[in-house]
Chain A
Amino acid sequence: AQSVTQLGSHVSVSEGALVLLRCNYSSSVPPYLFWYVQYPNQGLQLLLKYTTGATLVKGINGFEAEFKKSETSFHLTKPSAHMSDAAEYFCAVSDNNKLIFGAGTRLAVHP
């Protein structure tokens, strides 16, 4: 069965600093991988996804993630954090169109 592990429930960065949110997955088949962002009391917004093809995926708001099969990882990065990036981030793997979510990482951005 597929599963997702997000290392670090809380990450804090300074504005302008690099953002790195870690995600490792377990899947018996080639995975479809996703990163979502959630603002308080709101639904989920897709940041980016990997299905097939290029392993470096660019998403919205300057985020990108790289699928590394050898490391079973799909870490999310952004070169320069902005205050508006403060939110909860979820990594997910698709299991027959069902999404299996990681526990989430809360990103705090301080001035």
Chain B
Amino acid sequence: GAVVSQHPSRVICKSGTSVKIECRSLDFQATTMFWYRQFPKKSLMLMATSNEGSKATYEQGVEKDKFLINHASLTLSTLTVTSAHPEDSSFYICSADPGRRNTEAFFGQGTRLTVV
């Protein structure tokens, strides 16, 4: 099956710093990638839809200046958490859409962000 690599798997950062999370589709091109956030023992909440070569579309309530998304190529999207605070600590998961009919998006392994 298709592989989506997310890096890093875990990161600890200090308050006020920025953290970049990468999402790569390893064996297919993805014009669309999705970023989700998962709170402890909660479901996944869609944060934004990332489209290659254009601005990301953010869901209501998600601060676009806080969570910067760049989809620079058909195989890479990045999420940067800027000026991180402890409340940004969470599990972030990306998915990449191959864009083929009846084919689901594939998920990365997730990134556990802890802001101290």
Is the Cβ of B108 less than 8 Å from the Cβ of A98?
no
B-contact bits for A32-46, CB 8 A (1 contact / 0 none): 101010000111111
- The answer to whether A101 and B93 touch across the interface, beta carbons within 8 angstroms, is no
- Tell me which of A44, A49, A98 contacts B93 (CB under 8 A): A44
* Contact B32–A97 (Cβ < 8 Å): yes
Indicate whether B34 reaches chain A with its CB closer than 8 angstroms. Answer: yes
Task: Chain A residues near B4: list those with CB within 8 A.
Answer: 43
Residues of B within 8 A of A106 (CB): 41
**What are 23 A-B interface contacts by the 8 Å CB criterion?**
A36-B107, A41-B91, A41-B112, A43-B6, A43-B107, A43-B108, A43-B109, A44-B44, A44-B107, A49-B104, A90-B43, A97-B32, A97-B97, A97-B105, A98-B46, A99-B95, A99-B105, A100-B46, A101-B43, A102-B43, A103-B42, A103-B43, A104-B42
Listed in ascending order, the chain B residues whose CB lies under 8 Å from chain A are 4, 6, 32, 34, 41-44, 46, 49, 91, 93, 95, 97, 102, 104-110, 112
Closest CB pairs A-B (n = 5): A43-B107, A44-B107, A43-B109, A43-B110, A51-B102
